[in-house]
A and B are shown apart, each in its own frame.
Chain A
Amino acid sequence: MPHDPEINASLYVSGEFTRRMRRWFEAHLLECDDCWREVWLARLGRRVAEHAREAAPPPLREKVRAVVHLSGREAVDGPWWRRFRRPRRS
C-alpha cells in the first residue's frame, strides 16, 4: 500500500478501508507520526463539519411542496390561464 498520509487519513476517517487494510493502517499509525497527525486532524475536521449540518426550515419545505404541486397541475391541466378560458361554442 502506498504511503500517502493524506489519502490514507481520508479513507480511514471516512470508514472506507477494508477490514484488512484498516488493521494494517492502525498498526502503521502507531509508528508513523505523519499519518498519526493527519488522521487526528481529519477526525477533528470531520467532527467540525458534521457540526454544520442543518435541517431545512419548515417554511421552505412547505414552499417547495406547493411549487412542485402547482408544477404538477400545470403538467396535467396545462397552464393556469388555459383553465379559465371560455369553452368554444359549437
Chain B
Amino acid sequence: MGCMDLVYNLSRRLARSEEDVQDLVQETYLAAFRAWGERRRPRKVESWMATICLNLGRSAWRRRSRRPTELALKDIETMPALSDPEADALAAIDRETLHEAMWRLPEEQRIALTLVDLAGFSTAETAQVMGTPRGTVLSRLHRGRRALALLLDQDVPERKEAR
C-alpha cells in the first residue's frame, strides 16, 4: 500500500465526511513536509506518516467533540448466510455497509484494524504509532476482527469439518 493510500484509509476511519477526510490527508502531508524541511527524517516513512495522521485526526476530533454514538454490535445489520461461505458473503457486502460497520466499532479497535489489516503494519509498529502496549493492540485487533466477522453471520465450522 502506498503512503497516500495508507493516509487516505486511515483518514477515512478518523473523519466522517469526505471533505474532512480530504482535509486530514492534506494536513498530514503538509505537516510531514514541514517536518521534513526541518530535517526531521524518520527511519520508516509509513509509520511516521500514520503517526502524524493519527495525531492530527485525534486532535481534530477532540476540537470538534463530535464522537459518533457507538452502537452495540447486535445493532449492526447482518448479512444473510449464503450457501457458499466466505467469498460469496464478502462479495455481497458493499463497501459503504462495511465502512459504516467499521465506524460502529470503538475508535481504538477501528484504528488498530486499519493499521494492521489495511495498512499491513505489524502489531509492534501499530503499538508504537498508537502509543499503547502491544498486548492492548492485540486485544483491540481481535475484538475488531471478531465484530467484523459477525457481519457475515456465519456459523463457526466444527473442527473436524475444517480439517
Min Cβ gap A36→B in Å is 5
From B30, which residue of chain A is reached at the shortest CB distance?
A: A71
User: Number of residues in A with C-beta < 8 Å to the partner?
Assistant: 40
Complex Cα spacing A36 to B155, Å? 13
Q: Is A60 an interface residue (CB 8 A)?
A: yes
User: Which A-chain residue is minimally distant from B138 (CB atoms)?
Assistant: A10
Tell me what chain B mostly uses at the interface: helix, strand, loop, or mixed: helix
Contact assessment for B156 and A37 in the assembled complex, using a CB-CB cutoff below 8 Å:
yes
- A71/B86 contact (C-beta < 8 A), A40-B157, A44-B154, A49-B145 known: no
Q: Which of A45, A47, A55, A75 has the most CB of B within 10 A?
A: A45
Interface digits, A1-28 against B, CB 8 Å rule (1 contact, 0 not)?
A: 0000011011101101000000000000
Contact B148 A49 (CB under 8 A): yes
Asked if A10 contacts B123 (CB within 8 A), the reply is yes
Give the contacting residue for A67; candidates B4, B29, B86, B156; CB below 8 A. Answer: B29
Contacts of A55 in B (CB 8 A): 5, 8
Asked whether, in the complex, the Cβ of B159 is within 8 Å of the Cβ of A49, the reply is: no
CB pair A30–B159 under 8 Å, yes or no, is yes
Question: Would A7 and B149 count as touching, CB distance under 8 A?
Answer: no
A72 to B95, CA, bound (A): 36
CB distance from B12 to the nearest CB of A (A): 7
Our pick among A10, A16, A48 for the contact of B90 (Cβ within 8 Å) is A48
Chain B neighbourhood of A72, CB < 8 A: 33, 37
Q: In the complex, what distance in Å separates the CA atom of A56 from the CA atom of B141?
A: 24
Looking at the assembled complex, report how far the CB atom of A43 sits from the nearest CB atom of chain B, in whole angstroms. Answer: 8
Q: Are A47 and B86 in contact (CB under 8 A)?
A: yes
New A-B contacts (11) at CB < 8 Å, excluding given A6-B138, A41-B146? A7-B138, A10-B123, A11-B123, A40-B156, A42-B146, A45-B144, A48-B149, A49-B118, A49-B145, A53-B9, A63-B22
A residues with a Cβ closer than 8 A to B are: 6-7, 9-11, 13-14, 16, 29-30, 33, 36-38, 40-42, 44-57, 60-61, 63-64, 67-68, 71-72, 75
